[in-house]
């Protein structure tokens, strides 16, 4: 009997341990950290936080240890001082200063969780902060954050600069929100808050020497930037019943800088110059070229008082912000007034400057010299390259990567923030269903796919890439809730781009881990963007087979998507999409997301056209401008453009509008021709005035068949698509010519000329 009991016991124990191990594996898999760490291994077991948890730290980390109070299940009392490694306690939370034998990189940290508690090891406070905030993230990711699995983790950042920007000029946001913004930055290991404090829509920083900057230049007669922009762009005195705006006192700034520093974040202030300065020139018009308020947007570079003002302002900025770098903007100066201003022309003559670009460079270099004399370093958008760049300046890319590539190869440090995909004021999903934004289309996947070390940067210049930043321009973000909606979860994708090693990036893995972070964002009351249920369908023409490859994607994680190809609406009995489809003839593809038998969200619809013009020769009587897409093949490659003119399928035309000719190589019977345009007025993309179709048999003598007048008003700001459809009733012709006028002078974008 005794032997039987022992035998049963031996059978049960391994089985129980196996179940426990499996359970632990399932539980620890929920530690879906973002950004992805370099190394993490799990052991069997969990450590539970208690109310009386002892905390001890080396002297270098005594202040940092206070950050443990951010953890929802750690209660900090007195932090015991560890004087020597021999005195490290055996239990509790221990903040250990690394030594050579720890084999830990200078910017790295290590976390060990076992039955004794938690040991955090690092060389520097900044790295220790990242270790602590990793514990905080783990707690919020789990349903029961009072426990943490046994683990050993080691991590370090890929880039030294990991930034998130916020424009508070277009819309003013309270300090309480800025602290929440910083809290989230710390959890996701950002280390620089780029604070865009001044711009034409409002001056937001108290400057003791120039009180009118906050008495008037910080206030306007419309709360909405858009209404103000379209309503005269005037400033009014603080205290006026219609005044909207605000500013940060110097005490508030000091408090925010301290708060950020405690979380390992540097606050990088931006004071715009020489352009985007309408608010300053409205209250100090003598600093403009005209001397009159509301006439100029750029400082007068020929006026010595301009540099007195800017130096005075930056002197107070330097006292408030300990950051090594000071951002001066430098973008979008019109320079128009400089060309006719006697003072500016005299300055150019005195300094031997050839043009207004060199005049801007003179101003930038002068401010750089001033900052250098104060032990600081100038940062500017890549337009500071125009006319020559100060050797010590740092370039922050703006609309594209070209300027940063140029600067890096010339030996300057650069920070990558290209307009696509690092602008979070762009649409992140179908604009037709989203609140108004500036334009563009930057989904989560585009942010994650970005590689900061741009092609074209020489191998030996790669260390010049300090890091990457996401920019949050707030023209169309009037509230804190709207800012969060636009920033999250895109900022999570950016955090992994900025922190994790390149070989650790994995889109599918990121998507899986992201599912756990919605709980974290909900717990912290973040109004993040919810993924759309509506699928997205794309067709790629396969020239070898003459077929169209149909791919259906979704913002949902591992959704059940059902589709049809006969134009009917999909239902619960429709086939489930599991892999790309191949179609050999035109079809209307519809798809939708389902849960059991219930359809979730809208139906997506794509007309797949396998038509006569695919692969035919296109002659451009007027060349494309900037947006080449796929070059000569764009308009007849069988691929329709998506929601953004920057997706590589939309071709852009400006001055002369669209004027193209298609050659079918022999006379063909043409029944219909269709060409699609988009409009999104914010970035200057408009419908054509008219679109005409002409035919010819010799490619020289053309006859107009039909002209269609556009009926979409230019003031319609929401994203709009329009097909201009021509009926030729079976006309025989070899050549067709399509012309589209451009009365608005902006961009015309078209993606595919469909011919049957």
The helix (H) or strand (E) run that includes residue 381 is strand 377-381
The phi and psi torsions of 117 (rounded to 5 degrees) equal 130, -140
Integer Cα distance of 44 and 19 in angstroms: 12
Q: Is 625 a catalytic residue?
A: no
Integer Cα distance of 604 and 577 in angstroms: 13
Determine contact, residues 536/553, Cβ cutoff 8 Å: yes
Integer Cα distance of 651 and 13 in angstroms: 68
Candidate list 276, 327, 517, 611, residue with the active-site label: 276
Helices 356-373 and 342-351, axial angle in degrees (round to 10) = 70
Residue 441's nearest CA partner among 240, 649, 257 is: 649
Instruction: Catalogue the E-assigned strands of 130-265.
Output: 147-155, 161-167, 192-196, 198-199, 202-203, 219-220, 244-245
Could you count the other beta carbons within 10 Å of the beta carbon of residue 21? 11
Helix, strand, or coil (residue 63): coil
Q: Is 298 a catalytic residue?
A: no
Determine contact, residues 496/190, Cβ cutoff 8 Å: no
3 state SS for 428-496: CCCHHHCCCCCCCECCHHHHHHCCCCCCCCCHHHHHHEEEEEEECCCCCCCCHHHHHHHHCCHHHHHHH
Q: Is the bond preceding 241 in cis, omega lying within 30 degrees of 0?
A: no
Candidate list 97, 199, 272, 751, residue with the active-site label: 199
Residue recorded with tokens 């950042």? 157
Tokens at 436, concatenated? 């108004």
3 state SS for 499-529: HCCHHHCCHHHHHHHHHHHHHHHHHCCCCCC
Q: In Å, how far are 10, 45, 492 from 189, measured between CA atoms?
A: 47, 27, 10
CA 455 to chain centre: 19
3 state SS for 73-108: CCCCCCEEEECCHHHCCCCEEEEEECCHHHCCCCCC
Integer Cα distance of 111 and 148 in angstroms: 12
Q: Is 332 a catalytic residue?
A: yes
DSSP type of residue 233: -
Determine contact, residues 38/28, Cβ cutoff 8 Å: no
Helix, strand, or coil (residue 356): helix
Bridge partners (DSSP) of residue 196 are 167, 270
CA 348 to chain centre: 38
Integer Cα distance of 411 and 258 in angstroms: 33
Q: Spell out the residues 6+ positions from residue 86 whose beta carbon is closer than 8 angstroms to its own.
A: none
Candidate list 332, 357, 358, 632, residue with the active-site label: 332
The helix (H) or strand (E) run that includes residue 251 is helix 250-262
Determine contact, residues 207/271, Cβ cutoff 8 Å: no
Determine contact, residues 397/373, Cβ cutoff 8 Å: no
Helix, strand, or coil (residue 544): coil
Residue 79's nearest CA partner among 91, 93, 99, 96 is: 93
Rg (CA), the chain: 30
Tokens at 753, concatenated? 């000329």
Integer Cα distance of 162 and 495 in angstroms: 7
DSSP type of residue 169: S
Active site residues: 199, 276, 332
């Amino acid at each position: 009997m005794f032997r039987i009991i022992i035998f049963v016991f031996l059978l049960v124990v391994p089985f129980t341990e196996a179940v426990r191990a499996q359970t632990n594996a399932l539980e620890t898999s929920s530690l879906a950290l973002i950004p992805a760490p370099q190394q993490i291994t799990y052991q069997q077991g969990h450590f539970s936080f208690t109310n009386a948890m002892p905390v001890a730290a080396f002297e270098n980390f005594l202040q940092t240890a206070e950050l443990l109070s951010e953890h929802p299940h750690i209660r900090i009392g007195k932090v015991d001082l560890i004087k020597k490694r021999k005195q490290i306690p055996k239990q509790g939370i221990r903040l250990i200063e690394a030594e050579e034998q720890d084999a830990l990189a200078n910017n790295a940290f290590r976390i060990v969780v076992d039955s004794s508690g938690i040991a955090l090891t690092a060389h520097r406070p900044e790295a220790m902060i990242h270790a602590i905030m990793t514990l905080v993230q783990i707690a919020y990711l789990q349903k029961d954050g009072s426990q943490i699995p046994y683990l050993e983790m080691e991590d370090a950042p890929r880039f030294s600069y990991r930034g998130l920007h916020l424009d508070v000029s277009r819309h003013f946001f309270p300090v309480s929100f800025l602290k929440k913004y910083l809290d989230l930055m710390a959890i996701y290991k950002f280390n620089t808050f780029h604070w865009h404090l001044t711009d034409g829509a409002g001056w937001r920083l108290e400057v003791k020497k120039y009180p009118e900057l906050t008495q008037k230049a910080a206030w306007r007669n419309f709360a909405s930037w858009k209404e103000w922009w379209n309503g005269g762009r005037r400033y009014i005195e603080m205290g006026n019943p219609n005044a909207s705006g605000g500013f940060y006192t110097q005490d508030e700034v000091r408090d925010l800088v301290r708060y950020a520093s405690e979380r390992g974040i540097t606050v990088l202030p931006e004071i715009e110059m020489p352009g985007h300065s309408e608010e300053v020139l409205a209250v100090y018009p003598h600093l403009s070229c005209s001397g009159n308020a509301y006439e100029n947007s750029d400082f007068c570079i020929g006026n010595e008082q301009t540099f007195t003002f800017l130096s005075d302002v930056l002197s107070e900025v330097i006292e408030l912000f300990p950051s090594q770098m000071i951002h001066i903007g430098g973008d979008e100066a019109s320079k128009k007034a400089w060309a006719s201003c006697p003072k500016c022309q005299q300055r150019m003559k005195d300094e031997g400057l050839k043009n207004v670009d060199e005049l801007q460079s003179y101003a930038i270099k002068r401010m750089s010299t001033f900052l250098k004399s104060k032990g600081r370093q100038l940062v500017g958008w890549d337009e500071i390259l125009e006319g020559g760049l100060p050797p010590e300046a740092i370039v922050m890319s703006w609309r594209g990567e070209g300027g940063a590539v140029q600067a890096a190869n010339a030996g300057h440090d650069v920070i990558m923030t290209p307009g696509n995909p690092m602008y979070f004021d762009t649409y992140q999903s179908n604009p037709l269903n989203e609140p108004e934004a500036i334009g563009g289309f930057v989904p989560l996947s585009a942010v994650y796919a970005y590689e900061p070390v741009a092609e074209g940067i020489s191998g030996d210049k790669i260390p010049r890439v300090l890091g990457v930043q996401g920019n949050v321009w707030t023209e169309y973000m009037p509230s804190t809730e709207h800012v969060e909606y636009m920033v999250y979860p895109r900022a999570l994708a950016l955090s992994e781009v900025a922190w994790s090693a390149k070989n650790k990036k994995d889109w599918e893995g990121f998507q899986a881990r992201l599912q756990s972070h919605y709980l974290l964002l909900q717990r912290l009351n973040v109004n993040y963007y919810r993924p759309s249920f509506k699928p997205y369908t794309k067709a790629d023409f396969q020239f070898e087979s003459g077929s169209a490859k149909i791919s259906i994607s979704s913002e949902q994680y591992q959704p059940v998507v059902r589709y049809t190809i006969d134009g009917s609406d999909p239902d619960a009995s429709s086939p489930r999409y599991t892999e790309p489809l191949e179609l050999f003839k035109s079809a209307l593809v519809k798809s939708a997301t389902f849960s059991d038998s219930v359809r979730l969200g809208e139906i997506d619809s794509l007309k797949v056209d396998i038509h006569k013009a695919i692969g035919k020769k296109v002659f451009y009587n007027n060349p494309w401008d900037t947006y080449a897409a796929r070059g000569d093949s764009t308009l007849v490659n069988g691929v329709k453009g998506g929601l953004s003119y920057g997706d590589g399928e939309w071709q852009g035309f400006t001055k002369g509008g669209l004027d193209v000719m298609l050659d079918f190589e022999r006379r063909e019977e043409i029944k219909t021709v269709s060409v699609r345009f988009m409009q999104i007025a914010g970035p200057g993309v408009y419908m054509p005035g008219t679109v005409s179709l002409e035919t010819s048999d010799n490619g020289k003598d053309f006859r107009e068949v039909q002209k269609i007048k556009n009926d979409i008003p230019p003031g319609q700001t929401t994203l709009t698509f329009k097909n201009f459809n021509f009926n030729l009733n079976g006309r025989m012709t070899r050549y067709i010519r399509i012309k589209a006028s451009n009365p608005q002078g902006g961009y015309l974008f078209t993606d595919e000329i469909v011919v049957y």
